Amino acid sequence: MMPVKLAYLGVVLIWTTTPLAIQWSHSEISFILSLSARMSIGLVFLIWLLMLKGQRLPWHKRAIASYFAASLQLLVSMAITYWASQWIPSGWMSVIFGLTPFFTAILAMVWLNEQSLSPLKLSAYGLGLLGLSVMFKSAVDLNQHAIWGVSAILFAALIQCISSIWVKKLNASITALELLTGGLLVSMPGYWLSWYWLDGSLPETVSVTSLWCIVYLGMIATIFGFSWYFFVLSRLAATQVAMINLLTPVLSLWLGNTVNNEAITFSVISGTALIVLALALYQYSEKTQKTVFKKT
């Protein structure tokens, strides 16, 4: 079985490249067709992997509930994210998703009784929120569409947190591969019904870049990204998993600037610095908390 730290690193790297791949995947086709094609490719390969392993999806009540919980993230949050990606730079998507530790801390405290709001951690979340607020102002300065895009991503981040906490609370004792496959099966009608309602047409041609991005998102980002994410979620506290979203903004902004010529302003640099400081403070609070527990 893959070590948790390696899976965690894998999720960070995949989520770093995902925003840019999402933008490129629907540069010439509708966002909903790109998403539906991506998830369909992912589901086909997931079913194939289950067959290779000789596994069958569990269908007991708790497993089914977990599939629906996962579908909140796989369908609703992803659809909103794809729509918003039309209006904001790719690197900003990860930046805004950096708010998820704050959302998750509150939800985990209420639903999971996780002690995630200690004074040091609250300070870390506050710094992260301040950094994201600085970057949010830059997004607002872009245009009216960017404001809608930022707001949509914020909502998508909240839905992702609710989905993650719900999955963890159900604790269905199923593998990450089973959870992802079941979640996609539940979500698949929603993808294609949304495509039929919002678009309903197929393009005559698709660029090589868009095609390869869809394939990458379907085979790598969907299968490995979500599988490793759900695996890490089952092994670590929900707030620790949410900290992935404070690592990926820095890397995604650098990637967007390097590969896609996305501008990095002083506000973005300042916000990024605050986020990195928030992450360092959070890690320090984790070590301090463990030391206290050992002494008691």
Nearest to 172 by CA among 59, 75, 285, 51: 59
Distance CA(44)–CA(218), nearest Å, equals 9
Confidence (pLDDT) at 292: 46
Q: Residue 209 is part of which domain span?
A: 4-295
Q: What confidence score (pLDDT) does residue 25 get?
A: 93
From CA 168, how far away is CA 233, in angstroms rounded? 7
Single out the residue of 81, 83, 95 nearest to residue 128, CA to CA.
95
**What is the number of domains present in the chain?**
1
Q: Which of 250, 252, 257 is nearest to 279 (CA)?
A: 250
**pLDDT value, residue 287:** 65
The whole-angstrom separation of Cα 133 and Cα 135 is 5
Residues in the chain: 296
Query: What are the residue ranges in the chain where pLDDT is below 50?
Result: 292-296
DSSP secondary structure, 121-175, as one string: HHHHHHHHHHHHHHHHHHHHTT-HHHHHHHHHHHHHHHHHHHHHHHHHHH-----
Query: Shortest CA distance to 131 belongs to which of 279, 274, 281, 282?
Result: 274
In a 13 Å sphere around the CA of 61, the CA atoms on its Cβ side amount to 0
**Secondary element (H or E) of residue 244:** helix 244-260
What residue type is 270 in one-letter code? S
Q: Are 129 and 67 in contact (CB under 8 A)?
A: no
What burial class does residue 266 get, using C-beta atoms within 10 Å of its C-beta: 0-12 exposed, 13-18 middle, 19+ buried? exposed
Contact 243, 252 (CB under 8 A): no
Rounded CA-CA distance 191/75 in Å is 7
**The pLDDT value given to residue 139:** 65
Q: What pLDDT score does 32 carry?
A: 95
pLDDT computed for residue 267 by the predictor: 79
